[in-house]
Amino acid sequence: MQTRSTAHPHPLALSASLSHPGEGGSPLVSLRGVKKTFANGTTALAGLDLGIRAGEFVSLLGPSGCGKSTALRILAGLMDASAGTVEWPGSGADADHRGEIGFVFQEPTLMPWANVADNVWLPLRLRGVSRKAAQGSIDECLDLVGLSGFHKSYPRELSGGMKMRVSIARALSLRPKLLLMDEPFAALDEITRFRLNDDLLHLQRDFGCTVVFVTHSVYESVYLSSRIVVMAARPGRVVAEIDVDAPRERDEEFRTTPLYGDLCRQASRALHGAMAPDEHL
């Protein structure tokens, strides 16, 4: 495992606290000793400690069943932990953080009866913002994901990648501090996935939000992250943390650097080292 060291943020990055993410922007949210046992007795998480700092791009990397999605849902408040706490430093214990979170599912999860603009409007609409007042935000979010001009299209008229872009635009519409993504590109073809990876990097740079990204792809996690949290299953736990000591400004070239290969090897090794023998099939 690599020692933490200073990365080089893009000059456009918004928050001052981003200048040394390796040493920690201000802590944004953390899970402390979080356990989750489901009603059927399955232990999804056995005491997870995870701190997220502002401006980070953290990947939760692991095989299916390692509790990475569960951790994400507990972070979002969509699920309650059986034990342990979710702490938001810098706000009261009772504060409602739901408005500060954007969530992207593996499926685009759009409303088929509503056009793109109305889909993006949904979170704002639920907060009582009229369509007219939301127009600016809708335009901006669609712009950010590269879909300006698609307001009137219906989900069925869009490709899988474009639907995912709409889903991301919707997650951005409340200007969240924290963007949670649950294997968002897993169902897409590789060409589209690479494209969306690049766009997500740019989007985080321009938008300046913190991202927690669940994936089972080693390559995706290395390409995107500033930090990779490797998890193992049965019971779900963290087995390694890897700092990606590379500039945040990345492109295809990055995939050919020795550092990239090195990090992929590290992550793979951590992943396989933690697997039970019967999982190596």
Partner 1 sequence: MDATAPARIDAPSPPARPRDWSAAWKVVLPLALFVLVLWGWETYVVANEVPPYILPAPSVIWATLLKDWPVLSVSLLTTLKTTFLGLILAVTGGVALAVLLSLSRLVEYSLYPYAVVLQVTPVVAISPLLLIYLPQEAAVLTCAWLVAFFPVLSNTTLGLQSVDRNLLELFDLYGATRPKGWPAFVGRFVTRLKALWYLRRPAALPYFLAGLKIAGGLSLIGAVVAEIAAGSAGAGSGLAYRIIESQYRLNIPRLFAALALLSLTGVVIFLALSALSHLLLRRWHESALGRER
Which positions touch partner 1 (CB under 8 A)?
76-78, 96, 98-99, 101, 103, 105, 107, 109, 111-114, 122-123, 125-127, 146, 150, 152-162, 165, 174, 191-192, 194-196, 199
CB of 200 to partner 1, least distance (A): 13
- Residue 175: which region, alpha, beta or left (left: phi > 0; alpha: psi -120 to 50)? left
Residue 203 CB burial class (10 angstroms; 0-12, 13-18, ≥19): buried
Q: Which amino acid is at 192?
A: T
Residue 167 corresponds to which amino acid? S
Distance in angstroms between the alpha carbons of the first and the last residue of the chain: 26
Q: Quick one: 16 or 187, whose CB is closer to partner 1?
A: 187
User: Which is closer to partner 1, CB of 47 or CB of 160?
Assistant: 160
Min CB(120)–partner 1 separation in Å? 12
Least CB distance to partner 1 at residue 81 (A): 16
- For partner 1, the closer of residues 103 and 213 by Cβ is 103
Nearer to partner 1, 152 or 272 (CB): 152
Minimum separation from the CB atom of position 73 to partner 1 (A): 8
Q: How many CB atoms lie within 10 A of CB 248?
A: 20
Give CA–CA dist 58/225, Å, rounded: 6
In the complex, minimum distance from the CB of residue 112 to partner 1, in angstroms, rounded to a whole number: 5
The nearer residue to partner 1, 210 or 266, going by C-beta atoms, is 210
Minimum distance, C-beta of residue 105 to partner 1, in the bound complex (Å): 5
Measured at the CA of 8, the angle between CA 7 and CA 9, to 5 degrees, comes to 115
Contact 146, 199 (CB under 8 A): yes
184 to 72, 94, 243, 271: CA distances (angstroms): 13, 30, 22, 20
- Please say which residue, 53 or 163, places its beta carbon nearer to partner 1: 163
| Strands across the sheet containing 83-87 | 43-53, 27-37, 83-87
